[in-house]
Structure 1
Amino acid sequence: MYALSPTRERRLIWLLALVQFTIIMDFMVMMPLGPQIMSAFHITPAAFAAAVSAYSWCSGLSGLFAATYIDRFDRRRLLLVAYVLFALSNLICALTTSYTLLLASRAFAGITGGVLGAGVMAIVADVVPVARRGAATGVIMTSFSLAAIAGVPAGVLLGAHFGWAAPFWLLEALSASIGCVAALTVPSLVEHLRAGAPAIADALPALWRMLSRVRHLKAFALTFTMMLAHMLVIPFISPVLVANHGVAPGRISWLYMAGGAATFFTSRAVGRLSDRLGHRRVFRIFGSLALLAVLGMTHLPALSFAVMVPFFALFMVISSGRMVPLQAILTTVPEAAERGAFLSANGAVQALGTGFGAWIGGMLLSTDEAGHVLGYGTNGWLSVSLAALALVWIGRVTSAPAAREPLRVVTDRDDIAPDARPTLASEG
């Protein structure tokens, strides 16, 4: 493991959070742009849904494929190359004039996003000791909050005034700026290469061995279950609030901004709390609270908008609160040499859970003649059942055998100081 100065470690973590912010915004901003995109390309809602889904599915597949090579390269080099390709995908999307090219650009964005997401978490796991990893994960997860507070509203506002492509031009500018800073900030990270990567001919067998390891399978099952439960509810909040509770579509953005603002502050606090009390304990606390929050959201009574705003903020705080310790737990499951491959595969499992959750959730819902959405309560009970199973299953997810790794000091002038005196830190 590497030892960075506290200042440089914080700088690196916040930079990675900004990288993650652009990935999340890229995925989230498509949904509110639906009416404009459907009008511009003369496509049906089903075709638009396919463009949205292309990102998630390709992200999952690329994450799984990346597991065969992500641990073969310097983390810095892989991150920068993938980010350049991510920026290129947004440029293609902004310039597209046909639905086919739009679909291809969204698939390309998903491919690069899957690799970037795994690369970000692999760097966090490499440079931050387990004792502080919950707090670091909380910082990374503020990217979701930033996307809800600023990214998506700004994208929607630009789209309303300058056309649907404007948000992707904004993403292009942000990606170029963040990429330049990353090139100057992220150090070379090659410690994981000391174990030696398997031969190319052994890549797929090595992937299979990694995927089939019992400890890893238990973690993958937890990830899939959590995302399946999460996505049975989350994608349908806005349609249900508009159709069943009479919330004006223009007011929905205020709910997400309030929730994003709340989680921006609480994600880091939850991360620090999980470092202090234990990741599994905090996961169980917020996971238990989330059961009540989900049932409240899916069986929401008639409320004034003034009450709905703080309730939605609390719902998002609790929902995101269980994800912070979960991510920290997952980084401890693989051995250091397989960390990047494991996190890539876990990202693929997460994307699959996301896709299946949204698909199954949509299949369970229907509309009546008045346009009301029916069956959301059933989604809530199914989500709660799966989330309760995850609370039990977390006890079966184990970390890799505790190992002491030398801390290599990274200086501000040089990426890695080879002559630095190593100290020891536990990954347990």
Structure 2
Amino acid sequence: MPFAVYLLGLAVFAQGTSEFMLAGLVPGIAQDLNVSIPAAGLLTSAFAVGMVVGAPLTAALSLRWSRRSTLLAFLIVFLVVHVVGALTTSYEVLLGTRVVAALANAGFLAVAMATAVAMAPSDAKGRATSVLLGGVTIACVAGMPGGAALGEVWGWRSAFWAVSVALIPAIVAVVVSVPGGGACAPSPLGELRALRRPRLLVLLALGALVNGATFCTFTYLAPLLIGTTGLDSAWMPAMLALFGLGSFAGVTISGRVADVRPVRLLVVGGVLLLGGWVAFAVTTGLAIVLVFVQGTLSFAVGSTLISQVLYAADGAPTLGGAFATAAFNVGATVGPWLGGVAIGAGLGFRSPLWVSALLVGAALVTAALAYLVRLGSGGAGVTRS
């Protein structure tokens, strides 16, 4: 794997840290800017919505630029809005910076996927994808508690400054390592036409469902564990880190298997993932183990689905990565909302686990129906697909 792919993973880590760190900064932001906790929480929602909208939009706008210029532009915008966020005393300005940061992050991730796949061997798209998503999972492990620790010691603004500083080596790395010639795509209309393939649409739907299940439970992990297992709140950073370690293990497994046995990983991993959510919902004795196991399975299956999107969208590498990013962020937005609806309906803190199980079950049913339809149509390569 080219070293430049790992450098792109570094940039993804810095941006992922910005997304995850807000979980520990909401109280400080609310107090400093004199807004309510729910209003401060909207900063997270604004980032998620910006990722959904921004992935296809920013990727489409940058199709005629060189990949290096595009990546640099997105990184510089991301850095600037974090400096503005660290300096502002206005909640509205901070909210706006989160939206712009999400747009830049979404565009960067889409183009970075296309760039990593282009630099990697043709049969190693899964490995390239796992390196980039490894940056996200490391941000989950280190970024969230790191941001919370900075906010506790030096205030929430210090976390924004830390992200800005972390982006500087990433910018240098892109300048040094990413080839500068060539546009992201010679034919934007060709990329759009390539996105109409039924297999690609099914994979995007599966990605949204699986990621929705993941973030449905992950968002409410702290109240779930405290309310049902008796764990003290002091254990929560460790539990979140354990989930993050599982997610890193998952993308590592995907990187080794997704290019050679993707169907086996998706089928076996999907069934085990469903069983894990059900087991988590009915027992508390295995909660600590299942936090790690479900993190591993969720990201192994999710990473493999992303790599399969890139294989299916080989005629649309940039927009394929963009729509994969958008689909997974749809899941990350809708999943927690569904979990909140279940809790608000009085079903208890275990209810997000059942919602996660239902979403994975829906993904398995969707995959089975798609397979049967393809089998009935006599499509070629049905086993691989």
TM-score (norm 2): 0.88
Q: CA RMSD in A?
A: 2.7
Distance 1:367 1:95, change over 3 A: farther
**Residue 67 of structure 1: CA displacement?**
4.1
- The offset of 1:236, in angstroms, is 0.8
**Of residues 305, 326, 334 in structure 1, which corresponds to 2:313?**
334
Answering whether residue 110 of structure 2 is matched by residue 118 of structure 1, we say: yes
Query: Is the contact between residue 280 and residue 394 of structure 1 (CA under 8 Å) also seen in structure 2?
Result: no
SS of the residue aligned with 2:237? helix
- Deviation, 1:175, is 0.5
- Counterpart for residue 389 of structure 1: 362
Give 3-state SS (helix, strand or coil) of 1:286's partner: helix
Where does 1:223-238 land on structure 2 (aligned, <5 Å)?
Answer: 223-238=207-222
**Structure 1: gaps of 5 or more residues:** 1-5, 199-205, 369-373, 403-427
Question: 2:259 & 2:158 partners in 1: Cα distance?
Answer: 41
Tell me: CA distance 1:182–1:269, structure 2 relative to 1, closer, same or farther (3 Å): same
TM-score normalized by the length of structure 1: 0.80
Alignment counterpart, residue 292 of structure 1, candidates 263, 275, 283: 275
Deviations 1:177-198 (A, max 9, x none): 22112211111352764x4445
**Structure 2: how far apart are the matches of 1:308 and 1:101?**
40
Q: 1:348 to 1:258 in 2, by over 3 A?
A: closer
3-state SS of 1:131 partner = coil
For 2:377, the equivalent position in structure 1 comes to: none
1:42 counterpart (31, 34, 46):
34
**Hey, what's the Cα distance between the residues in 2 that align with 1:73 and 1:81?**
10
1:266/1:59 Cα in 2 relative to 1: closer, same or farther (>3 Å)? closer
Q: Which amino acid aligns with 1:136?
A: A
Q: Rate the CA distance shift 1:235–1:161 in 2: closer, same or farther, 3 A.
A: same
Segments of 5+ residues of structure 2 without an aligned counterpart are 375-379
Is structure 2 residue 123 aligned with structure 1 residue 140? no
User: Which of structure 1's runs of 4+ aligned residues deviate more than 6 A?
Assistant: none
Q: Out of 329, 332, 348, which is 1:354 matched to?
A: 332
For residue 313 of structure 1, the aligned residue among 272, 287, 292 is 292
Q: Check the 8 A contact 2:46/2:99 in 1, yes or no.
A: yes
Question: How much does 1:133 deviate?
Answer: 1.9
Change (3 A) 1:299 1:260: same
Q: CA deviation at 1:161?
A: 0.6
Specify whether residues 67 and 212 from structure 1 end up closer, same or farther in structure 2 by C-alpha distance, changes over 3 A only.
farther
Aligned residue among 209, 234, 243 for 1:250: 234
Contact 1:258 1:310 in 2 (8 A): no
3-state SS of the aligned residue for 1:35? helix
Question: What is the DSSP-based 3-state SS (H/G/I as helix, E as strand, rest coil) of the residue aligned with 2:166?
Answer: helix
Residue 163 of structure 1: aligned partner: 155
Q: Return the offset for 1:166.
A: 0.9
1:283 equivalent in structure 2: 266
User: Closer, same or farther in 2 for the Cα pair 1:261/1:213, shift >3 Å?
Assistant: closer
**Quick one: percent identity of the two aligned structures?**
22
2:322 aligns to what?
344
Give the structure 1 partner of residue 352 of structure 2: 379
Q: Indicate the structure with greater helix content.
A: 2
Q: How many pairs were matched up?
A: 375
Are the counterparts in 2 of residues 298 and 376 from structure 1 also a CA contact under 8 Å? no
Matched residue SS, 2:89: coil
Contact 1:159 1:166 in 2 (8 A): yes
Q: Is the 8 A contact 1:145 1:261 kept in 2?
A: yes
What is the distance in 2 between the residues matched to 1:159 and 1:177?
A: 23
Paired amino acid for 2:106: G
Q: Distance in 2 between matches of 1:323 and 1:315?
A: 12
Determine which structure has more spread, i.e. the larger CA radius of gyration.
1
Alignment match, 1:103: 95
Q: Is the 8 A contact 1:280 1:325 kept in 2?
A: no
- Indicate conservation of the 8 Å contact 2:50/2:102, yes or no: yes
Cα distance, 1:367 vs. partner? 8.7
